[in-house]
Structure 1
């Protein structure tokens, strides 16, 4: 007579039925299969209640309880679909179910095991990691939607590098995504556009991470990010170099400080290093001179200054009372402004 295998011997969906076969330690019955299942479920529940009453330091669970779980699994697999699904749904919420039974049933096709994978309170992180390692992806997606994820399981799910699994994690409001987890998802979003909206909305997103996202997303999501965070600047903007003054100003408005500097360099013919030196100055004079060289109208100065200060460490530190004094700089010709700027920054003309 064959012997039952231990819990670790339930590896794949293809062998799920064979693996839950138990020896005939539980006598066969003339009861209908569904009645037998209901009877054994009640017995399993009573066994669990008894173990709880004895306390956590008592003897280990008897082997007969595992045999009961295996026999029950055999009977559940033999039920027709109409009878099996209510049983599986009940087991998906049962905190008294044997983990051995649940782990084996999770290897059924996903249409049968979905509720178990998504909700079962007795599934351990180890069991879930083994399950998602076997595939298919739809079971990993269900695992990513569970309300009780821990860091090791989240890491294992991210290791799969499956877009649908990553999106399920982001949309799981119960998933405790850490800063490191979100960094990994932002890196994945460089190639997977479908993650970007969920990342922009995620409540755990930090200012630093928002800056990293700013260069990846389109105008609508940039507006959303700027609405959530003050003083964003793109750390890795992927848009092309601005070709005119309007695009240069727009890039600053979107938080792309590097793109703004590149656009000014193209508009003025000045070296990017000189542009950045001018923008690091505390005084607003170099900025006004730089804008004059670029041909940017004085009317844009107040709005531009406010946005620049937000992404440039509050520099230049110009108060509104200083604006009228700076306006006369825009009366200079571009050549005059260039000469004064290079003199201020001590750069050879």
Structure 2
């Protein structure tokens, strides 16, 4: 008889891959370490599925997000680092991590290719200042996000943007950053060194930076020192609200003019009264008094008070009979009342040789006539 060989028993097949079995065991565990291994295991499982034909099922993404949402701080931090450059992770999970505590969010905001401009705009609107700063520092930041940062006008976030050399900043937004640097000193250094700074904006920035950055701007653009000085004065006048020709308050100016005329007709308008007017903080009376006593145009006196040098004002004071020895104190009082003008860059521009009142008046008018000429 032929020998009958009994069939080998069919081994019971494990319905789940061994790795998934291990994940299920970890899911039943209670320790943070096991939960951490579980989430990282799910991350590996999701990556494998995402990179396979057909991609990862949405249910697995939901599990991944739910586990992460309930995980401890340190687990979320480790996961954020692992996913910071991943292009296969669930987008909703990446957005969740980007809005998490800043230590968790930072690597994701900085590097994740899954965050789009709309996601970054949402972070700017909803999250902390630290998140906004990290958005501003993101390499290759888009122009739309950069514009929103400029529109929000937070000095710290704008400064972070100014240090981001790879951010795409539109020309008008960069010009707005230069404008904001008037009042946000931290912006000045990164803007002065930014590759997008052109000569026109450098001339505007020049007035607001310190000596070291002025030198750097001058060397970088090889700008004529005269042009730099002119730009500084123009910017300073704009900041101070002075245009050198019109009064800030026409009604008050009219009252000052009437008072000056009344004093003059009564014989009480003398050089000593001009000093008294300054001590009483009546700058408008001083201006009209100078014009009346010297026979000057009021516009020219105002220009002398908003100039790049104190020399024209000094000449006008000599012309009306004010003692040259009193001029330093008088200049100090005027600058207190006139937003720092006239400028006195080296303190010596007005230290002229003795001259008569008539000669001083003549030189003053010559300077003001030159100031009237159109620039070439």
Q: Same fold (TM over 0.5)?
A: yes
The equivalent residue for 2:41 is 39
Deviation, 1:172, is 1.3
1:141-220, aligned counterparts within 5 Å? 141-220=133-212
Q: Give the secondary-structure state (helix, strand or coil) at the position aligned to 1:220.
A: helix
How much does 1:111 deviate? Answer: 2.1
Find the partner of 1:93 among 69, 85, 97: 85
By how many angstroms is 1:146 displaced?
0.6
| Relative contact order, higher structure (CA 8 A, sep 6+) | 1
Conserved 8 A contact 2:77-2:104: yes
- Which 5+ residue runs of structure 1 have no aligned equivalent? 1-25, 55-60, 242-257, 271-292, 298-333
Q: Displacement, 1:185?
A: 1.0
Match of 2:25 in 1: 30
TM-score normalised to structure 2 length: 0.54
The offset of 1:176, in angstroms, is 2.2
Residue in 1 aligned with 2:310?
263
Please report how far the alpha carbon of residue 221 of structure 1 lies from its aligned counterpart in structure 2 after TM superposition: 2.6
Residues of 2 paired with 1:336 and 1:33: CA distance? 88
Alpha-carbon deviation of 1:40? 2.1
- Counterpart of 2:99 (choices 98, 107, 111) is 107
How far apart in 2 are the matches of 1:159 and 1:47? 42
C-alpha distance 336-140 of structure 1, shift in aligned 2 (>3 A): closer
2:359 maps to which residue? 335
Supply the distance in 2 between the matched residues of 1:116 and 1:122 (Cα, whole angstroms): 9
Q: Give 1:338 deviation, angstroms.
A: 4.5
Residue of 224, 231, 237 corresponding to 2:216: 224
How has the CA–CA distance of structure 1 residues 86 and 261 changed in structure 2, closer, same or farther, with 3 Å as cutoff?
closer
CA RMSD of the aligned region, Å? 4.0
Taking the aligned partners of 2:141 and 2:168, their CA distance within structure 1 comes to 7
- Tell which deviates more after alignment, 230-239 or 160-169: 230-239
Structure 2: 5+ residue stretches without partners: 1-19, 27-33, 243-304, 318-348, 371-376
Contact 1:66 1:100 in 2 (8 A): no
Q: 2:99 touches 2:127 (CA, 8 Å); kept in 1?
A: no
- Cα deviation per residue 1:218-262 (whole Å; 9 max; x = unaligned)? 333322222222123323126999xxxxxxxxxxxxxxxx97655
State which structure, 1 or 2, has the greater radius of gyration over its C-alpha atoms.
2
Q: Given the alignment of the two structures, is residue 124 of structure 1 paired with residue 123 of structure 2, yes or no?
A: no
The answer on whether the counterparts of 1:237 and 1:259 sit within 8 Å (CA) in structure 2 is no
In 2: Cα distance, 1:126 partner to 1:69 partner: 21
Partner deviation per Cα, 1:175-223 (whole Å, 9 max, x = no partner): 1223212211122212211211222122211111111112222333322
Question: Where in structure 2 are the equivalents of 1:71-86 lying within 5 Å?
Answer: 71-86=63-78
Local SS of the residue matching 2:51: helix
Q: Distance in 1 between matches of 2:67 and 2:316?
A: 80
Aligned length: 242
Return closer, same or farther for 1:77/1:295 CA change in 2, 3 Å cut-off. closer
Note if contact 1:73-1:105 (Cα within 8 Å) is conserved in structure 2. no
